[in-house]
Structure 1
C-alpha cells in the first residue's frame, strides 16, 4: 500500500512538471518534448492523468495514433476524460471511426458527462456514426444544456426555434438563447440582442450586442450603432456600463 501511495505521489510530481513544460508555467519555457517525457514517466507509474496529458501532447504533435492508444488505455480504466477524448479522437482522426466514437460517447454521456452528451447529440443530429435521429439529438442537447454546457444551450434554442427534435416553441427558444447568452456564448448574445431589438427593448439589446461585438461577432457592432442613435445619452451610457461590468455565469463550457 505504501509503495502504491509513493507511486501516486511521484506521478503527481511528474504530471505537474509536464504541465509546466507544456504551458510555460513557473518560469519554465514551453518545451513539448520535455512535457511529453514527463507525462510518459507518469504513464509508466500508472497515472491516468498522465495518460490523458500525454495523449493530448501526442495529438498536438500530429502523432494521433499514439494519442489514441493512450486514450484507449485510460478509457478502459474508466477515466471519464480519457473516454471522452478517445471518442472525440475517433471523430477527428485521419482515419475517423465514427461508430467507435459513438460507442464511447454513449457510455460517457449515459454517466452524466455533459461534453459527451453534447458530442453524442451532434452525431445523432448529423447522422455521424449512427442513424440520424433528431428527437434523440434534441434530448441529449437538452441534457447537456441542463448540465451547464453552453454550446448545448445554444443548440437547444435552435431546435425549439426551427422545430427539430422538439415542437416549435418561441418562448423556449428565447429562454435557451438568453441562457446561452448569459453564459457567454457570443452568437447567442448577438441573436438575443437582435430579438430584444425586434421587441423594442433597445437598451437591453445594446448590452447584448456590445458583448457580442467584444467577443468578435462583427455584425453586432453595426446593429448596436444603429440602435444607439435612437437612445438618450443616459440610456446609452447606462447600457455601456452594464456591458462593461457584465460577467458570464459559470458553465461547463
Structure 2
C-alpha cells in the first residue's frame, strides 16, 4: 500500500524543481491526499479535486462515473476539455460530453451547450439551437439560462419579441442573485420597460449588483446617488462607486472619478490621479472636454506624473516601485516534513484508479 501512496504523490509532484516550487507542490500533494483519503461528508471527490485546481485527478475520478451514465461527472469532464484545464483544449470532445450529460438530465450541461452554440466556439454558430437549449435550461430553473432567454426576448430575433416576458425572466434571474440580471432588471424598472416602474427596487438591485463587482452597475448606482435618487445627493458615496468601476478599467467610471478628483468633490482633490484616470479613459475612446480643460490647467509636473502612472497602469512606474528587500538566509524546511500517515491507506476507488495491487 505504501507503493500506491508513493505513486499518488509522484503523479502530483513533478520534479526536478526549485526548492520553493517543490515545497508548494508537496503542499498540494498533501492537500489532495487529505481530500481523497478523508473527504468531508457529502463531498464529491471529483468535484472537490476540480475546485482545488487538481484537474487531472478530477478527470480520472470522473471518468469511471461518467462511463456509467453519471450526468454530473460527464459535465465535469466536458468542463475540463472545454477550458483546457490540465489537458489540451478540445471543444468537439467537450461538446460530446455535454451532449451526453444533457441527454442524462444535467441542466448545467444544457446551458453550457447553449453558450457554445450561441458564440460559435469550436462549432458552427447556431443561435436558433442555442435559443432552444436556453429555453430548456430556463424551464428547468437555471437562473443564467433565464437571463439569456430574457435577452433573446428583448432582441426578438431568435425568440418572440416580448418585453413583458423578458422582464419576467430577467427578474427571476435577478432574484436568484445573478449580478448581470440584477443590473439589467434594475434598468428595466427605472425605465418601466416590460414592468411597472419601481425606482426603490431598482436602487436595491443596483446596490446588490454593484457590490458583486459589476462595473456597469457601479457606474449607474454612483450616478443615481450623485443625482440624489435616495433623497439627498451623496457625492461621497458616488465617488466611492465611481472609483471601484475605474479600478476595474471601466472608461465611464474612470472619466467621472477623474472629474471628482480634479474638483475635490466627494473625495480629496488629487490632480495627479485625476490625470491618470483621464488618460486611461481617453485610451478607450472616452473624452470629456470639461475634464480636459481642468487637467490642462494643472501643474505640468503633477500632470506628467499622472500620465506616467497611466502608461504603467495597473502596475506602477519604475520610479515609484519600492526598493527590493534583501534576501534572507533562512532555508525553507518544509521539504523535510513527513507525509501524513493517512497516505498508508488509500480507499478502494483511489487504489483502483492508481493501478491495482502492489
Give the TM bin, normalised by the shorter chain. 0.7 to 0.9
Shift of 1:156: 0.7
Task: Indicate the residue corresponding to 2:323 in structure 1.
Answer: none
CA distance, structure 2, for counterparts of residue 223 and residue 165 of structure 1: 27
Task: Indicate the residue corresponding to 2:203 in structure 1.
Answer: 138
Q: Does 1:168 align with 2:236?
A: no
Instruction: Please identify, of 3-12 and 80-89, the stretch whose mean Cα deviation from structure 2 is larger.
Output: 3-12
Task: Indicate the residue corresponding to 1:185 in structure 2.
Answer: 250
Aligned residue for 1:141, secondary structure, equals: helix
CA distance, structure 1, for counterparts of residue 127 and residue 115 of structure 2: 9
Pair 166,48 (structure 1): closer, same or farther in 2 beyond 3 Å:
farther
When normalised by structure 2's length, the TM-score is: 0.56
CA distance, structure 1, for counterparts of residue 307 and residue 232 of structure 2: 37
1:72 to 123, 135, 138: 135
1:43 to 102, 124, 136: 102
CA distance, structure 2, for counterparts of residue 227 and residue 73 of structure 1: 53
Aligned residue for 2:146, secondary structure, equals: helix
Task: Indicate the residue corresponding to 1:251 in structure 2.
Answer: none
Taking the TM superposition and a 5 Å limit, the aligned residue runs for 1:7-18 are 7-14=71-78, 16-17=80-81
2:306 to 215, 233, 239: 239
Task: Indicate the residue corresponding to 2:285 in structure 1.
Answer: 216
- Which structure carries more helix by proportion? 1
**What are the superposed Cα offsets for residues 127-162 of structure 1, whole Å, 9 maximum, x if unpaired?**
111012222212211121122221111001111222
Contact 2:134-2:145 at 8 Å conserved across structures: yes
CA distance, structure 1, for counterparts of residue 230 and residue 209 of structure 2: 15
Contact 1:136-1:165 at 8 Å conserved across structures: no
2:149 to 79, 83, 86: 86
Q: Does 1:103 align with 2:153?
A: no
CA distance, structure 2, for counterparts of residue 149 and residue 239 of structure 1: 26
Pair 40,166 (structure 1): closer, same or farther in 2 beyond 3 Å:
farther
CA distance, structure 2, for counterparts of residue 130 and residue 237 of structure 1: 49
Instruction: Please identify, of 202-211 and 166-175, the stretch whose mean Cα deviation from structure 2 is larger.
Output: 166-175
Q: Does 1:59 align with 2:127?
A: no
Shift of 1:17: 4.7
Show structure 1 runs of 4+ deviating over 6 A. 33-38
Taking the TM superposition and a 5 Å limit, the aligned residue runs for 1:24-39 are 26=88, 39=98
Question: Mind listing any 5+ residue stretches in structure 1 that lack a counterpart?
Answer: 249-253
CA distance, structure 1, for counterparts of residue 180 and residue 241 of structure 2: 18
Instruction: Please identify, of 170-179 and 117-126, the stretch whose mean Cα deviation from structure 2 is larger.
Output: 170-179
Aligned residue for 1:131, secondary structure, equals: coil
CA distance, structure 2, for counterparts of residue 240 and residue 247 of structure 1: 13
Aligned residue for 2:189, secondary structure, equals: helix
Count of aligned pairs: 239
Question: Mind listing any 5+ residue stretches in structure 2 that lack a counterpart?
Answer: 1-63, 316-358
Task: Indicate the residue corresponding to 1:113 in structure 2.
Answer: 178
CA distance, structure 2, for counterparts of residue 160 and residue 101 of structure 1: 27
Instruction: Please identify, of 2-11 and 161-170, the stretch whose mean Cα deviation from structure 2 is larger.
Output: 2-11
Shift of 1:229: 6.2
RMSD value over aligned CA atoms? 3.5
**What are the superposed Cα offsets for residues 22-54 of structure 1, whole Å, 9 maximum, x if unpaired?**
xxx9477xx9x9986775444334343332232
Aligned residue for 2:285, secondary structure, equals: coil
Contact 1:109-1:120 at 8 Å conserved across structures: yes
